[in-house]
Structure 1
Amino acid sequence: MSDNPLVSIIMPCFNAAKYIENTITRLFEQTYSCFELIVVDDGSRDESLAILNRLSGYYPAISVVTQANQGAGAARNVGLKLARGEFVAFLDADDGWDAEFLSVMVAELVSNPDVVLVYCGWQNLGLQDKFCRPYIPDDFERKEKILEILAACPWPIHAALIRKAVIDQVGGFDESLTSCMDYDLWLRIAIPGLIHRVEKVLAYYFHHDGDQITKNRLKIALNHWHVQQKFLRAHPDVVNKIGKERVADVTKGRLLRQAYKNFWDRDLITAQTLFRKLLFSGYFCIADLKYMLPALLPYGLYRNLIVFFDRGDQK
């Protein structure tokens, strides 16, 4: 293995003209220069492609590929097919890295040949201050790794560096997913393989126009649960290793806690859908029925019922 292995950075792009030039310009400030950037334009309708073509003339390390809109998972898979690097990193068109990201992460993988993936800390930017504190994730190899990673996506997609051979081995991204595709990939790579934590904040997640996640709560919640169930079906031994009750708590229990949070936040569309799904799955206790049974009503009646009780509470 070379001490300076080539890193393939894969960047999907869809209508990112507002951000992509700044993202790419910052990327070329990395102290580690042995990388290629593969940008897959996923059918952008703005000026993204024109910007990319101009930048590729200035930076020879950039390759630009175009395709009809198929989603980020398909775009990343196209990038993986073209990648020549020994290591792979993913960077979205509006996110960023510390200038030392590649240097530190590459050094960690090079010095640990048995490690399949390294991950680092990150920081949200563009939200309320309380949500923008730098965050260092747990050292999952020192904890109950299977349970911890099954419970929730352990790090964002741009906070990891992975051996390309391992990504190829697990088959890349599931293109049927519209969210949580990174979580799905981490489950397939990180649970069976050895992973290392870099205890530094090296990745930055930029939020624009408020919290994008809030707008997609329902889709993310359902995809997250779908990914968990898909993984458990493929690995039935996991239930035996950590126990049915604990698996239920981090899957259906997590969904129930999210349903209640959505209910009290009055995101009733999300709450109603999650309550229904949990009721039909049989995951509830008697006290939950107070909230689940009304969710069987048509949405308009359900919403009016909640509004009626809210008014009563305000009197």
Structure 2
Amino acid sequence: MTPLVSIIMPCYNAVAHLPSSIASVLAQTFSDWELIAIDDGSTDSTLAWLKAQDDPRIRVHSQPNQGVSVARNAGLAKASGVYVAFLDADDTWDVHFLGKMVATLQANPDARLAYCGWQNLGLPGGRGEPFVPPDYENATKAETLFAGCRWPIHAALVRRDAVMAAGGFDPALKNAEDYALWLQVAISAAIIRVPEVLAYYHFHGIEQASGNRARAAQQHWLAQQKFLAAHPEFGLTHDTARIRALTSGQLLNRGYACYWQRDLSAAREIFRAVMKQRYGTLKDWKYMLPALLPESWHRWIIRLRNGE
């Protein structure tokens, strides 16, 4: 019997986290689902652990390591549900996630996607407060969604036909692949908010996809450029200065964030990318230009500027 929801979980060397993530799926109050786990060339015991699971709703596929986008696309090719959800192997859901998200989309048949609140767990310094995003279905939705990714990948439930029509995930993107998909799916059709925290993003000691801040910033910019190329009508509805502010300006802001948080290596890489686009005010360029110098010189200039 065809399940209503297909859950796609890419797995790479994730055996330490799978017991928690899979347990959060098994605990769902809504049970009409299939879980398609894609082992993406793991070198630990991930594949063996997955194959040892005895719930018939869990389907396991193995492939050579090709990255998360290819893994998710492989899962999509095997999915049969009306709706699809994406859960990474180190994240979890509230037990009511599927039930509430499915009920919301069924009650709103014109909506392609439902999104909910989430909480970041494991961040130091009290940065893990629960967050419920605002209602984005309004007159400024297109610009708001274009400016940045508004929910993590596991805080959404989406119609599978909409994902397939959008072409799935872009394998060329190592970051922002979910953001690029949401642009294709959510800007041109209704989306709906479930105003509850139902998804949990777990931070841990090893490098995660969001860890390389310079790459993440530039991949976000690249996803924007690809969207503009595929949807020239979006650019026609916004003046050039506004588009530049939403693309190069956002990239510059990410560079400043790295700079002020003392991640100078990432800031320098981002600043160089912004300068190639000839963006920024004179004040901005005073901060960016030292990124063309050796990093040791750049650090000396900062110390000099700070009177150290």
TM-score after normalising by structure 1: 0.93
Q: For residues 274 and 45 of structure 1, what CA distance do their matches in structure 2 show?
A: 33
Larger deviation, residues 167-176 vs 202-211 = 202-211
Question: 1:252-277 CA distances to partner (integer Å, 9 max, x unpaired)?
Answer: 11111221222222322222222222
Confirm whether residue 92 of structure 1 aligns to residue 88 of structure 2: yes
Give me the whole-angstrom Cα distance separating, in 1, the residues matched to 2:248 and 2:305: 32
The answer on whether the counterparts of 1:5 and 1:87 sit within 8 Å (CA) in structure 2 is: no
Residues 12-48 of structure 1: per-residue CA shift (max 9 Å, x gap) = 0000010102211221110000000000000000011
Letter aligned with residue 32 of structure 1? F
Matched with 2:30 is 32
Give the corresponding residue for 1:117.
Answer: 113
Match in the other structure for 2:46: 48
SS where residue 150 of structure 2 aligns?
coil
Change (3 A) 1:230 1:135: same
SS in 1 for 2:9: strand
Q: Is the 8 A contact 1:15 1:46 kept in 2?
A: yes
Query: Where do 1:66-215 residues align within 5 Å?
Result: 66-209=62-205, 212=208, 215=211
Specify the alignment match of 2:295 in structure 1. Answer: 302
Amino acid at match of 2:131: Y
Q: In the TM superposition, what is the alpha-carbon distance from 1:292 to its structure 2 partner?
A: 2.3
Q: CA deviation at 1:284?
A: 1.8
Give percent identity, aligned residues only.
46
- Deviation of residue 309 (structure 1)? 4.1
Secondary structure of the 1:255 match is helix
- Structure in which a larger fraction of residues adopt helix: 1
Residue type at the aligned position of 1:87: Y
When normalised by structure 2's length, the TM-score is 0.95
Q: Deviations over 1:153-174 (max 9, x none)?
A: 0100001111111111111110
Distance in 2 of aligned mates of 1:124 and 1:244: 36
The gaps in structure 2 that reach 5 residues or longer are none
Distance 1:163 1:98 in 2: 20
Residue 215 of structure 1: CA displacement?
3.1
| Cα distance in structure 2, aligned partners of 1:109 and 1:8 | 15
CA contact (8 A) 2:20 2:92 kept: no
Cα deviation for residue 311 of structure 1 reads 6.0
Structure 1 distance, partners of 2:246, 2:302, is 31
1:20 to 7, 18, 35: 18
Per the TM alignment, residue 281 of structure 1 is displaced from its structure 2 partner at its CA by 1.1
Following the alignment from structure 1 to structure 2, what is the Cα–Cα distance between the partners of residues 309 and 279? 19
In the comparison of the two structures, how many residue pairs are matched? 307
